Structure 1
Amino acid sequence: MGMSINTNLSALNTYRNLNSTQNDLSKSLEKLSTGLRINRAADDASGLTISEGLKSQVGGLTVAARNAQDGISVVQTAEGGLTETHSILQRMRDLAVQAGNDSNNATSRDAIKTEVGQLQKELGRIASSTNFNGTSLLNNNSTLKFQVGANAGADSQIAVDLSGANVQNIVDNLAGGSTGTGTKFAIADVSALAGAASFKVTNGGEETTVTTANLGAAGTFTSVQGYADALKADANFSANFTVTVDKDANGAGTGITVTANNGGTVDVTAPGTGVAAGTAGAPVTGGLAFDTADKAQASITLIDQQIAKVSSARSNLGAIQNRFDHAINVTNVAKENLTAAQSRITDVDMAEEMVKYTRDNILSQAGTSMLAQANQSTQGVLSLLR
């Protein structure tokens, strides 16, 4: 190979290798300083796509776990109100049992009535004041949905049906029906009840038709009381009507009596398959009364029905709370596993990267030294020029 000074191939080759080593050294320094294997898309394009997806999942699961905790708080708040409702109903029952004894004179019965009246007012206050973050819990038939998963779709939500925890319904049941005249609807076969119910109210010459949501398919109901409860749970119905169950001598439900809250006349348009046409009934009565032993007996029965409803509602809320606990556990496990998967993709192995850094650092020093030597290699030409 001839001797030349214009082009120093050795120096150029050494510089190219040194430049490559410096780039590798710079990348190692960046990874070691950030602790990340992927600092830009160019480091691992497909890995970045996967890791960002996992990052979304982990972030969503973190928020979902907090949502589930909020759900537990909501359920506990509702159950707190129902716990006190239970206590009040038990006290009312004790008073009703006491009123069932004819050893009580009129003054004693008035005292019982006064205490029960105050307890009823407290139930109404509990129904209207129990709320979570401004959302009323015990005086409506709403269903609250909680996002306990990281993704869209029904599988990532838990629905909490508060219709069974409607203390206002209990207050209304204890207070009795409207003093107006109800319309009776006979029910021959409760298992045949299906679809929506539609009632027409005539008041002052003005007709209004109110239709419920689909209350269920045929076979949904096993008792007239169950059908009446479904009507009460419907927001459209309960906003316009009061319903009571008509019973035979054995206490079995034979039909329902519907009374318009505005005092109008109720006519039937489509009360649901299996419901006979309505007929005018006697004024609707009911509610708690203690002026006679027989009325006290009826009050005991009515209170027992409300206690059973509250017990069922509390059991349902307890089951939902347990479900939230399991949802949180599943979410935390998934979050841990997805975080580990993300870490394997994005986090740098510090020991391995330190080995690369040490190697590149030594190569950089050696390359710099060799570049100096290569630059000196053409000095021998000067000896030919002397």
Structure 2
Amino acid sequence: MTAFVPGLELARTLYDEVRPVLAERGLAHTAALVGPGSDVLGLDDATSTDHDWGPRLQVLLSPADHEAHAADLHDELRHRLPTELSGWTTRAAALAPDGTRGLGDAAGTGPVEHRVQILTLDVLLGRLLGPVDPRGPMTAADWLVVPQQRLLSLTAGAVFHDDLGLAAVRERLRYYPHDVWLYQQAAAWTAIGQDEHLAPRAGTAGDDLGSRLVTARVCRTAVQLAFLQERRYAPYDKWLGTALARLGSTAPLRSALAATLAAPEWAERQRRLGDALVELVRRHNALALTSPVPESTAAFHGRPFEVIDGAAIARRLTETVTDPEVRGLVERPLVGGIDLVTASTDLAGDVDRTEALRRLY
């Protein structure tokens, strides 16, 4: 069995083969591996090799060069690329009914059906961001309507050569502007405040399943908030725990969340969740964005439900917002960015609905 090689390493090796062909044509270009894929995030492993994986690369040309060279360049690479790199075939299988591609037949003959995408920067950005163009002014709504996974997919990965300005775009999108960041945190705290007392209430009513479901939702929001506190984009759910574990400062929070989700009954679940939320408060205080928040739980309206009052923390954060557009947002219900609004994979991936989603803001 061929030893696994991370996709980013394969992309770099593939560019070494593509670069001489571009040089012979004298083409200014950008070469990168960005966009969807666990390989872009550096999270791929042997399991990832079954679909949409292998030596692959994006090559960006100017619009004029793309029109003049793209078709011929694609065909030339079919005839000049090696059939394998580091033991992995450069051949892509035919498109499957579900839209994915597996590895091609390494023993195949003839031209290589390769995974080098030849695009323009406009096309690449359109695929990842839809109508949001980071090369011009961006509104708060622009930032909030693009799922963090897509922002991450453009700012992660690697750029191997850059004549056309992709690095500048990545730098522009590195993270949210300060007041958008405050808004995102306030929205997450609001969601926690709306949910944190519901799990013990379900427990006292004898609804253990309901208690577990609400607790899991609070834990997911807590993880989203932890990424915000770290000023890191959160990946989609498959990689939330894996990516969080790469942030060493989150170890106490991860431990508390794991204990919460493992608790066998609602009273212990509430205590453990309180530990996790207090840890989030400690992390909030360390950011010094507001006056200090008590690092303890308190009874919810006299009931035996211990909460940290996420809504109160949200109010402190919104009071610090100065950007006029974001001030308009905090004067309305704090729905948060699209990741907090919905967990729908189809909606998050549909750039054609971006304009419709702007109406949320």
TM range (shorter): under 0.3
TM-score between both structures, scaled by the size of structure 1: 0.24
TM-score between both structures, scaled by the size of structure 2: 0.25
Instruction: Pick 1 or 2: higher relative contact order, CA cutoff 8 A, min separation 6.
Output: 1
Over alpha carbons, which structure has the higher Rg?
A: 1
More strand by share: 1
